[in-house]
Structure 1
Amino acid sequence: MLSTRKAFIGKSSPPMAHDVFPGILADTSMDPINKHHILLLGPSLGAVSGVSTHLNLLLQSRLGEDFRLGHFQVGSEGRDETAAIKVFRLFSSPFLFCRELIRSQVEVVHLNTSLNPKAFWRDVVYLLIAKALKKRVVFQVHGGKLPEDFFAGNGILTLFLKWILRKSDAVVLLAEIEKEAYSRFVALERVLLIPNAVDLRYFENCPEKTFPNKQISAVYIGRLTRDKGVHEILDALDMLVNEEMIETVRVTLAGSGPDEPSLKRLVADRGLEPFVTFAGPVFDELKQAFWEEAELFLFPTYHEGLPYAVLESLASGTPVVTTAVGGIPDVVEEGRHGVFVPLRDAKALAEAIKEMIGDRERMRQMSAACRARAEEMYSLDRLSGQFSRLYTEIIG
């Protein structure tokens, strides 16, 4: 159940853990002797998710120079499971976690969760085990509802949420909009804002974007689900076809998800096949090529924390058309790095696409501003530095 291996760095494939039960420990420190042991809880390192990206970035960052970093996998990651296997996983994982805390002398448990019911109730178990064993806990929230809305109308459960947050030694948030909400549940000095980051080395070879062609390469990357706004992208594209503007844009959809079959049927039914490509999940060299070729990032999502796709868009110099939800307004400045559109508004999205592709000089200026923003604010060194200070402070 336990193994030791390196976190992936650069262009190599991430370690895959889809075929094993939760409870795998990836120890990434070259010399663990005399280093404080930090255990990162979260999904498989090989899963297609923002939290998996976050974990991989922490494991490949400079944190490993000062701390012994491990990874404990939780969750099913969408695997097809029999009822017996699911029950075994749910009951065995907390026991494996407890054993690992005792055996490996873990000092800090860094729990990566979100305020949605499935993740919250699962991860509360790990938090309570860690606190029972007198471990420090970093409770990092990756999106979901704000705390006052999570158990809306249920005062007892809201008090329970407040108690859980106060059991944590630190609550880490991604977006400024979350900070005020959480400060009503836990002391402000224990609430930290640590935005996501991106490994800028991955984008060093991205060429300067000059937008020389009549047809713009617009892209989307992420899960193919309605709440990511993918249907609005296709609706907007359909409007551009009807306005005979389609020769100016082509869309590539990268990723996978439950809506993929219905989206492909929608493209076929509307005759959009010549203008839409389903690229599937992209990793490593394919992902690098994806961002090198991208000229406009379409991300009309309904709700977010601080999505890695937006940070990657900035790092590659790709202007973005998105919605002002979650932490996105912390990253994207309207008119400088991209433009905002209202939620669920395909017509506004189509108008924004036309506006962007109609002014190539503006797109060139945005592209340069995007790269500068990523380099100034969202480097991996900044992320590792903030977590290093946090771990050191709570260990004491």
Structure 2
Amino acid sequence: MTESAQPAFRGIRVIVVAHGPPLKGGIATVALDLVEDPGLNAEFEMVFQNTAQNDSQRGKFAVENIKRAVADAFNTFRLARAGSVVHSHAVQDPWLVAWRQVCIAVAARARGARVLLHNHNQAPYMELPGEYKVSRLNRWAFALLDKLVQANILIAPAGEPNIRKYMPTVALPVIANSVVVETVPQSSAVHDPPVILFIGELLERKGIVILLDALDQLDAQGVGNYELRILGDNRPGLDLLKDQMVNEITARGRGDTMTGPVSRTEVYRHLSEADLYVFPTFTEGQPFTVIEALAAGVPIVASNIQAISNMITEGVHGRMIALDDTPGFAQAISELLADPQLRSQISQANRTLALQRFDRAVFRERIAELYREHGRAAQ
């Protein structure tokens, strides 16, 4: 529902505070998953507070951002009421973002609502325990939030020791991101020729150069019986760094492998036809593309970073390769291309994992438990 939710609804009111469309990304995806979920809407009065966001100045100390933070807090105060739950999504770092969360929490508590935060930052899930560091202003904001909110939801267990360092008393439930697994067609992972898939932003930090280098090595070794598909928005003029990567992909003779922007339905179609999902990324929080590949039963070859190693197991769901290890990626891709029986076995394991850990039904029930607990507590 939107802010015009039916006033006669007698269930617990939940205000989901997050930046949504026209912005994209993990926060917008999760927020829309919540407010559009039929099961949650049947039990709760779901209200979406789509926060204004100055995208070009995101997270920076700017007058426009301060005005928007105040406006967001005012709108939260207007929508919240005693017995309601405010579910606020943010990266919680840098400090201005964290203090915006403080403003929203104060506004919600002033109305008698309970507050659940949802941490979408990459850093706490990437850094080793105790190595996540924030500024002094950020620490002060975390200290206040530790007293103001009832829980700070994390997307992976790796974030717990890093957030606990700054929020010593608040509950830190772990609830993974999700997809509706049954809507994702399953791949057999056995096609002729096998399809290698990349899905993501066309940026260097996603490891595309490593993928291209690894495939060049395979071509030089005579392992060329595959089809590469690169799914990502390659329209010019949107981002200078993206334009540079598109130019490099084209210059290296792989320009025709780029699909351009595709719908979610088309992403799922490509996954259903894929034999490998290769993701040599450098930094992630909990990537939806890995969840979608699991749901489609596609074997994964990905960087061995904490965010992904918390999601899949080496040798069971694919291969985990050290950061920036081009020969390692080339070898893993080659071995899996040569073994369709192993790909089929991994495919079944991946679909099973998706149903157990990353299905929308699991996500919905965990979230609903928190809404019930804190909605009742606030009434």
TM-score range, shorter chain: 0.7 to 0.9
Residues 157/87 of structure 1: CA separation in 2 closer, same or farther (3 Å cut) = closer
**Cα deviation 1:337-362 (Å, max 9, x = unaligned):** 11101112222222221121111110
**Cα deviation 1:45-84 (Å, max 9, x = unaligned):** 4533122221122123211111111111225374799xxx
Please tell me the residue identity of whatever aligns with 1:51.
I
Paired position in structure 2 for 1:335: 315
2:348 aligned residue (339, 360, 368): 368
Residues 366/269 of structure 1: CA separation in 2 closer, same or farther (3 Å cut) = same
Residues 228/212 of structure 1: CA separation in 2 closer, same or farther (3 Å cut) = closer
**Counterparts of 1:220-231 in structure 2 under 5 Å?**
220-231=198-209
Could you list the runs of 5+ residues in structure 1 that have no partner in the other structure? 1-5, 7-24
Aligned 8 A contact 2:123 2:285 in 1: no
Paired position in structure 2 for 1:178: 159
Aligned 8 A contact 1:115 1:144 in 2: no
- The answer as to 2:35 corresponding to 1:54 is no
Paired position in structure 1 for 2:190: 211
In 2, Cα distance between the equivalents of 1:72 and 1:108? 13
TM-score (norm 1): 0.81
Residues 209/328 of structure 1: CA separation in 2 closer, same or farther (3 Å cut) = same
Please tell me the residue identity of whatever aligns with 2:36.
Q
1:76 aligned residue (36, 53, 73): 53
Q: Any idea what SS the aligned residue of 1:304 has?
A: coil
- Percent identity over paired residues: 22
Paired position in structure 1 for 2:89: 112
Paired position in structure 2 for 1:309: 289
In 2, Cα distance between the equivalents of 1:114 and 1:33? 31
Paired position in structure 1 for 2:74: 98
In 1, Cα distance between the equivalents of 2:8 and 2:335? 54
Paired position in structure 2 for 1:40: 16
Paired position in structure 1 for 2:252: 270
**Cα deviation 1:94-120 (Å, max 9, x = unaligned):** 335414533553722111111442643
In 1, Cα distance between the equivalents of 2:79 and 2:121? 32
Please tell me the residue identity of whatever aligns with 2:262.
V
Please tell me the residue identity of whatever aligns with 2:116.
V
**Cα deviation 1:298-342 (Å, max 9, x = unaligned):** 112222222211111111111111123344223211111111011
Please tell me the residue identity of whatever aligns with 1:182.
I
Please tell me the residue identity of whatever aligns with 1:105.
R
Residues 158/31 of structure 1: CA separation in 2 closer, same or farther (3 Å cut) = closer
In 2, Cα distance between the equivalents of 1:114 and 1:39? 18
Worse-matched range after superposition: 41-50 or 351-360:
41-50
Please tell me the residue identity of whatever aligns with 2:214.
A
Residues 178/104 of structure 1: CA separation in 2 closer, same or farther (3 Å cut) = closer
Q: Any idea what SS the aligned residue of 1:190 has?
A: coil
Please tell me the residue identity of whatever aligns with 1:64.
N
Q: Any idea what SS the aligned residue of 1:47 has?
A: coil
2:180 aligned residue (199, 205, 208): 199
Paired position in structure 2 for 1:292: 272
Matched pairs, number: 362
2:334 aligned residue (343, 350, 354): 354
Please tell me the residue identity of whatever aligns with 1:272.
R
Aligned 8 A contact 1:209 1:317 in 2: yes
Aligned 8 A contact 1:44 1:52 in 2: yes
In 2, Cα distance between the equivalents of 1:280 and 1:96? 35
Paired position in structure 2 for 1:158: 139
TM-score (norm 2): 0.84
Aligned 8 A contact 1:300 1:344 in 2: yes
Paired position in structure 2 for 1:18: none
Residues 212/157 of structure 1: CA separation in 2 closer, same or farther (3 Å cut) = closer
Tell me by how many angstroms 1:187 deviates. Answer: 4.3
Could you list the runs of 5+ residues in structure 2 that have no partner in the other structure? none
**Cα deviation 1:173-204 (Å, max 9, x = unaligned):** 1111112333333346611111111112321x
Paired position in structure 2 for 1:10: none
Aligned 8 A contact 1:176 1:327 in 2: no
Please tell me the residue identity of whatever aligns with 2:143.
K
In 1, Cα distance between the equivalents of 2:170 and 2:301? 35
**Counterparts of 1:314-329 in structure 2 under 5 Å?**
314-329=294-309
Aligned 8 A contact 2:149 2:170 in 1: no
Tell me by how many angstroms 1:365 deviates. Answer: 0.4
**Cα deviation 1:13-40 (Å, max 9, x = unaligned):** xxxxxxxxxxxx455x678521221111
Residues 246/253 of structure 1: CA separation in 2 closer, same or farther (3 Å cut) = farther
Residues 100/184 of structure 1: CA separation in 2 closer, same or farther (3 Å cut) = closer
Residues 253/284 of structure 1: CA separation in 2 closer, same or farther (3 Å cut) = closer
Please tell me the residue identity of whatever aligns with 1:262.
Q
Tell me by how many angstroms 1:297 deviates. Answer: 0.8
Q: Any idea what SS the aligned residue of 1:279 has?
A: coil
In 2, Cα distance between the equivalents of 1:40 and 1:234? 40
C-alpha RMSD over aligned residues? 2.9
Aligned 8 A contact 1:151 1:157 in 2: no
2:149 aligned residue (168, 187, 192): 168
Please tell me the residue identity of whatever aligns with 1:125.
C
Q: Any idea what SS the aligned residue of 1:331 has?
A: coil
2:242 aligned residue (260, 280, 292): 260
- Structure with more contact order per residue of length (Cα contacts < 8 Å, sep ≥ 6): 2
Tell me by how many angstroms 1:133 deviates. Answer: 4.1
Paired position in structure 2 for 1:67: 44
Residues 280/122 of structure 1: CA separation in 2 closer, same or farther (3 Å cut) = farther
Q: Any idea what SS the aligned residue of 1:53 has?
A: helix
